[in-house]
Amino acid sequence: MKNYRTFGTILAAAVISAVFSGCGANAKADAKDNKNKVKTEDGKELTTITALADLTPHSEILEYVEPELNKRGYTIDIVSTASDATWNEKTQNGEVDFNFNQHEPYLIEWNEINNGTLVNIGGVHVEPIGAYSEKYSSADEVPDGATVVLPDDATNEYRALRILEQQGWIKLGNTENARASVADIEEYIKPIEITELDSYQINAHINEFDVYINNTNKVIEAGLDATKYLFREGEDSPYANIIVTTPDKADDPGLKALVEVLQSKDTAKFILDKYNGAVIPVTKVDE
């Protein structure tokens, strides 16, 4: 089992000695100093960049770029891979340098609701939301009256409803704000029954529905084949997963180096090969 808190030959004991050591007013001050200098076994000194990142595919991608980042004088300490609703707050408060688990529409919504100032400093990959089935191998096989489960959060529910509309199963009303719920369905072109469920719970109930719609990373994490979709978003999806940080760190040399490596063609090829095209890199790989 991989230890995602450290990579390569970095000495684990030295990575996070200054992070989270204070509370209250000291938390931000500690966060400013959390880029500890650590040494590899061969004596090379590296600066630590702290992160919150989903396990799949985010942490796996970060692990892949770690050797190249080491060459540039940096190492990544992933503080947690268990995504929750506090990650943006922790990033905003300076507890970590960046997070990697969301797309820009979600970030914009979070900033609006929480008076946040977090910024996107670079897109890495798209996890297309797709429709899957354990019962049917193609969309044409799905019968009228089929049961469909989809995510209940505003952004991803909109995405799910949009692919249902693009497939010709429903017609949505006015959704100019890129938010929608089942209540916004104007017409059911194909008779279906829709259930809304938390995206983290959908995989546990996939056998209870004819069709389930979820993000690629949730499907992969469940050990399912994300390439066997009935239909999904296109490669031009605006929902690229991004590196998020605070404005004062947007020009940080370490974060700039990280984004450069993440957006390299080498990393893009790794993403395509690792996930068999289920995850789409923002950077195009030459044929």
DSSP letter string over 96-108? Answer: SSEEEEEEHHHHH
CB 97 within 8 A of CB 254: yes
Structural domain spans, the chain: 12-126+240-281, 130-232
Fold category of 12-126+240-281 in CATH: D-Maltodextrin-Binding Protein; domain 2 (3.40.190)
CB 94 within 8 A of CB 50: no
pTM of the model: 0.79
CB 54 within 8 A of CB 241: no
End-to-end CA distance of the chain: 34
H helices present in 131-214, as ranges = 154-166, 199-202
Same fold, 12-126+240-281 and 130-232: yes
What CATH architecture applies to the domain 130-232? Answer: 3-Layer(aba) Sandwich (3.40)
CB atoms within 10 A of CB 223: 7
pLDDT on residue 2: 39
d(CA 26, CA 272): 42
d(CA 148, CA 151): 10
pLDDT per residue as tens, the chain (287 positions): 334 344 443 333 333 343 334 444 444 444 444 446 776 666 778 999 999 999 999 999 999 999 999 999 999 999 998 878 899 999 999 999 999 999 998 899 899 999 999 999 999 999 999 999 999 999 999 999 999 999 998 788 999 999 999 999 999 987 766 678 899 999 999 999 999 999 889 999 999 999 999 999 899 988 999 999 999 998 788 899 999 999 999 999 999 999 999 999 999 999 999 999 999 999 998 75
CA atoms within 13 A on the CB side of 35: 16
Supply angle C-alpha 100, 102, 105, rounded to 5.
140
The DSSP code sequence of 31-74 is HHT---EEEBTT--EEEEEEEEE-IIIIIHHHHHHHHHHHHTTE
pLDDT on residue 18: 37
d(CA 150, CA 137): 18
Q: Report the relative pairing of strands 280-281 and 185-188 from DSSP bridges.
A: unpaired
